[in-house]
Amino acid sequence: MTSGLPMKRINEIFHSLQGEGRHTGTPAVFVRFSGCNLHCPFCDTDHAVGREMSDEEIIAEVRRHDVLLVVLTGGEPSLQLDAPFLKKLKEATGATIAIETNGTHPLPPGIDWVTLSPKTGIADRDLPIVLEHADEIKVVDTGQDLAPYLALPARHADTYLYLQPCHVADEAQSRANTAATVRRVLANPLWRLSLQTHRLLDIP
């Protein structure tokens, strides 16, 4: 029996290690939502793929795995999230509920860890970032000016700042991108390096 709330379009739900940011190496269940209000050229989600799932179906799939971290990602998960779903997810799992968001849409209550990954300026629409709090800000490095990210209202004294190399299909170019990001982090010590370690380990 479903809750009567709108169905959510889910790209995939899978069990793996968090590969990026502060929780790198932590076992997690990832709930990847289909659909986004931006269209970034490096996005790794196929938004044409997905199925409609009820809150109960999503939670049942998450509970197949005994983890302490659930990561809501996408796409842009905030477009489909609601407080009742988050409350039920927390009650059913007891896990830390984390989200990766582009920050252009408000978040409902019930999220424990917010990763703001701003995409404005390199996407096809430059939507304003509306979040006022982020636990970490993770920026995909395309050589852009980093100063605007430091001025985001979501950044506070305890917000972690991560700079991540832009992954591309060409391996030589990816290595060059990583080397360039390492140099930028060395030159900008407010930032830490985030690597997509799941790619290095060849896991989901």
Output the DSSP codes for 79-102. Answer: GT--HHHHHHHHHHH--EEEEEE-
CA distance 90 to 76: 20
H/E stretch holding 114: strand 113-116
Per-residue pLDDT of the chain (204 residues), as tens digits, is 444 568 999 999 999 999 999 999 999 999 999 988 776 666 666 666 789 999 999 999 999 999 999 999 998 999 999 999 999 999 999 999 999 999 999 999 999 999 999 975 544 456 789 999 999 999 999 999 999 999 999 999 999 999 999 988 899 999 999 999 999 999 999 999 999 988 888 878
In CATH, what number is assigned to the domain containing residue 174?
A: 3.20.20.70
Assign residue 102 a region (left: φ > 0; alpha: ψ between -120 and 50; beta: otherwise).
alpha
Q: Containing domain of residue 53, as a range? A: 8-196
Position 41 in a domain: yes
pLDDT at residue 32 in the model: 96
Exposed / middle / buried, residue 56 (Cβ in 10 Å: 0-12, 13-18, 19+): middle
Amino acid (one-letter) located at 179: A
Catalytic residue positions, numbered:
30, 36, 40, 43-45, 100, 198
Position 2 in a domain: no
pLDDT at residue 162 in the model: 98
> Between the CA of residue 139 and those of 10, 34, 150, what are the distances in Å?
24, 21, 11
Question: How many domains does the chain fold into?
Answer: 1
Position 103 in a domain: yes
Position 148 in a domain: yes
Position 64 in a domain: yes
Token pair 């990583």 in the structure block, residue: 178
Position 97 in a domain: yes
Per-residue tokens: 73? 């990602």
Beta strands at 27-33 and 69-73: parallel, antiparallel or unpaired: parallel
Position 3 in a domain: no
| pTM for the whole structure | 0.90
pLDDT at residue 38 in the model: 72
Position 90 in a domain: yes
pLDDT at residue 125 in the model: 53
pLDDT at residue 43 in the model: 63
